Structure 1
Amino acid sequence: MSYQLELLTENPSQWTTVSYVTPEIQKKEIKPFVILALKELEGVPDSRTSSLMCADKFAAVRGVVRHVARLRSATRLPWARDDLKVFLEGLQFTPECVSELSTLLCTEGVYASVPPHLRVKPGLAALHWRIDLSLSQARTPPTSPPAGPASRRTLLQQHTHVILLLTTTDGRTSTYRLLLAKFHELRFAVASALKSMIVLEKRKCMRKD
């Protein structure tokens, strides 16, 4: 499975309701639905949206358009039509609709006006770290060893570095070199953020009915 297809199909349960409607959608309805969905994403909804007789069909196409548009910035590459076709076929679109919809969603121009805050940024796929012993030893001044344990500990903290290797979901790898004290600051910041997220998720306003 390609990376793009894996990204598109990472949460199949969200499409259960959509797949009940998609077989009924006709090819001639695809383009108008896509145009209306893109206008909503751009913040200029069309008044015709509220008076659609086939609201369930439009909702299904709108969900697909929003999903594909939001993931576009995470890939940093044009969509592969074959991957989009496999994704749409899995949602039970007819072959004619698959062809029409994949052609429209593979057109780069349709994403030009999508607001940046609606685009998904690359996430963290893997994180590895190691102690930079060789460099820390090379940077240690050639003086006599410190007399006490506290002095030795201070010297280690000043000259020991931690190498962080981060791999993001778009396939890129970044390397960061931190002092030991800064590494502990980063650990504390991440732990605090996670604790705040857990507290927020427990609030009633964040629970689904």
Structure 2
Amino acid sequence: MSLQFELLTESPGQWTSASYVIPEIQKKEIKPFVVLSLKELEGNPDSRTSSLTNSSKFSAVRAVVRHVARSRSATKEPWCATDIRNFLENLKFNPECAEELTALLCTDKIYDNIPRHLYIKQRLDNMQWKIDLSLCQNNIEAENANPERAKEIIQRDTHIILILKLTDAQTKTYRLSISKFHELRYVIASALKSMIVLEKRKCMRQD
């Protein structure tokens, strides 16, 4: 699975309601719906939007355009047509509609006027870590430390180096003491536990 396809399909639950009308959408409706959707995203809604007789179909296409436009901000690479087409076909667009919509969504210039508040933040793509003993080893040698003192120096001067790679190809490097590393682990574990508790609540479930 490519990173782009993973990005597009990371929240499948949001398409539950749209899935009922997507198979009914016709090819001739795709381009007008995309144009109206982009106008809304750019902050210039067209008056024709309020008088649409097939508003449920338009809402489904608008949701797709909005999702793809927001996700586009998380990658510097143009959309892969195959990933977009597979994403649309998984949503049950018929092949003709999927082909038409793919051609439009893979045109990079349509995203030029999307407001920045609709962009999504960069995500973590990969994380690596390693232990840096160089400082504590130098200090142990400099002090000619006995075993007990050496343990104190190791605890104090050992560092964990975190290397984070983001979805926009940026690399962030952080140097943490052992105590700060354990503090980070605790904060992350607490956040994950809170998320699990929230997901179990009825109000957070999607029908």
Alignment of 1:58-97 (within 5 A): 58-97=58-97
CA contact (8 A) 1:136 1:159 kept: yes
Structure 2: unaligned runs, 5 residues or longer: none
CA contact (8 A) 2:131 2:159 kept: yes
Tell whether 2:38 aligns with 1:4.
no
TM-score normalised according to structure 2 size: 0.78
Residue 122 of structure 1 aligns to a residue whose secondary structure is coil
Q: Which moved more, 1:199-208 or 1:124-133?
A: 199-208
- Residue aligning to 2:52: 52
TM-score normalised according to structure 1 size: 0.77
**In structure 2, do the counterparts of structure 1 residues 95 and 5 end up closer, same or farther at CA, with 3 Å as the change threshold?**
same
Displacement, 1:128?
4.1
Q: Which moved more, 1:39-48 or 1:184-193?
A: 184-193
Q: Which moved more, 1:45-54 or 1:133-142?
A: 133-142
Displacement, 1:16?
3.1
**In structure 2, do the counterparts of structure 1 residues 153 and 43 end up closer, same or farther at CA, with 3 Å as the change threshold?**
farther
CA distance in structure 1 between the aligned counterparts of 2:199 and 2:9, rounded to whole angstroms? 25
Alignment of 1:76-155 (within 5 A): 76-140=76-140, 142-145=142-145, 155=153
Q: Which amino acid aligns with 1:34?
A: V
CA distance in structure 2 between the aligned counterparts of 1:137 and 1:55, rounded to whole angstroms? 69
RMSD: 3.2
Between the aligned residues of both structures, percent identity stands at 60
Residue 17 of structure 2 aligns to a residue whose secondary structure is helix
Aligned partner of 2:166 among 163, 168, 174: 168
Displacement, 1:138?
2.7
**In structure 2, do the counterparts of structure 1 residues 84 and 198 end up closer, same or farther at CA, with 3 Å as the change threshold?**
closer
CA contact (8 A) 1:140 1:159 kept: no
Residue 34 of structure 1 aligns to a residue whose secondary structure is helix
State the aligned residue count.
207
Residue 78 of structure 1 aligns to a residue whose secondary structure is coil
Displacement, 1:3?
2.1
Q: What whole-Å deviation, never above 9, does each CA across 1:17-42 have from its counterpart, x for those lacking one?
A: 32321222222221221122112222
CA distance in structure 2 between the aligned counterparts of 1:3 and 1:47, rounded to whole angstroms? 37
Residue 129 of structure 1 aligns to a residue whose secondary structure is strand
CA distance in structure 1 between the aligned counterparts of 2:182 and 2:192, rounded to whole angstroms? 15
Structure 1: unaligned runs, 5 residues or longer: none
Residue 53 of structure 2 aligns to a residue whose secondary structure is coil
Alignment of 1:4-43 (within 5 A): 4-43=4-43
CA contact (8 A) 2:139 2:153 kept: no
Q: Which moved more, 1:95-104 or 1:173-182?
A: 173-182
